[in-house]
Amino acid sequence: MVTAWTNSNHYKYALKMGMINEDTDTIKVLLMRSGFVFNRDAHATRLNIKGVIGPVNTIAFVDGGGGNDSITDSGSGFLTAGLVAGNSFTISGSASNNVTLVALSVVAGTIEVATGSLTTEGAGAAVTITADDELATGGGYTQDTKTTGATTVTEDDTNDRCDTTFPTVTWTAAGANIGPTPGAILYSDTSSDNTIIGYLDFGGEQTIVPPDSLNIGNGTLRLA
């Protein structure tokens, strides 16, 4: 398995502002759903992978015909809720559109989705939209529980960088497969906004079959 690490841009800001301390913060490790694509700009905080809006009665649905369908919010709350392009999200509480979709684009008042996804429906129902890009619980994986354990921060003057290292993180498949999953997000569960530190790309979708394990061995978060 070939891996590549990408820091979020918000993480760099959080470091400068003293919002995050990798030496003392609790750092969580989340496996991501199949098809997830990390965006270093958009994926700034945990809210951007688990945003929720609702229940609100300001959300309507538009069948765009041959073009993209859309979800509108007259309260313009989508960005405040943390929703971003690429989110997998589930709609509940509507009359005709309780489905799970992927956002093509998100602005404050509109989410665009693929054509043929929605039925036109006016606002009024108490609608909730819940984004969740983490791998679902099951098969030996439990959402939002795994941490890196103790971390060690070291200054490397020889290579002009700073490294944060942590012990091996392990998930063991039991009763069902874990995955497929394309990578893992690490975020600070201690920082005020749950800063996403970055994303470990596995180089392709990985499926762990019982009794095998997925290990992130002797991890290093590097700032150069």
CA dist 176 and 39 (Å) reads: 30
Tokens, residue 168: 């091996």
The pLDDT value recorded for residue 202 is 96
Q: What number of CA atoms fall less than 13 Å from residue 94's CA on the CB side? A: 23
Q: What is the mean pLDDT of the segment spanning 36-57?
A: 98
CA dist 75 and 59 (Å) reads: 8
Q: What is the mean pLDDT of the segment spanning 152-167?
A: 89
How would residue 3 be classed by pLDDT, with cut points 50, 70 and 90? confident
> 50: how many CB neighbours lie within 10 A of its CB?
18
**How open is the CA angle 169-175-177, to the nearest 5 degrees?**
60
Q: What is the mean pLDDT of the segment spanning 17-32?
A: 95
Mean pLDDT of the chain: 95
Q: What is the mean pLDDT of the segment spanning 68-75?
A: 98
Q: How far apart are the first and last CA of the chain?
A: 24
User: Does the structure show a pLDDT above 80 at 175?
Assistant: yes
The pLDDT value recorded for residue 164 is 86
Beta bridge partners of 221: 164
pTM: predicted TM-score of the whole model, two decimal places: 0.94
pLDDT tens-digit profile of 106-152? 999 999 999 999 999 999 999 999 999 999 999 999 999 999 999 88
- Out of 124-128, 204-208, 217-221, pick the least confident: 217-221
Q: What is the mean pLDDT of the segment spanning 185-213?
A: 97
The pLDDT value recorded for residue 2 is 61
The highest-confidence range among 1-5, 86-90, 217-221, by mean pLDDT, is 86-90
User: Does the structure show a pLDDT above 80 at 218?
Assistant: no
User: Does the structure show a pLDDT above 90 at 95?
Assistant: yes
Tokens, residue 191: 């920082």
The pLDDT value recorded for residue 220 is 78
The pLDDT value recorded for residue 44 is 98
Structural domains of the chain ordered from first start: 4-43+135-223 (no CATH), 51-131 (2.40.30)
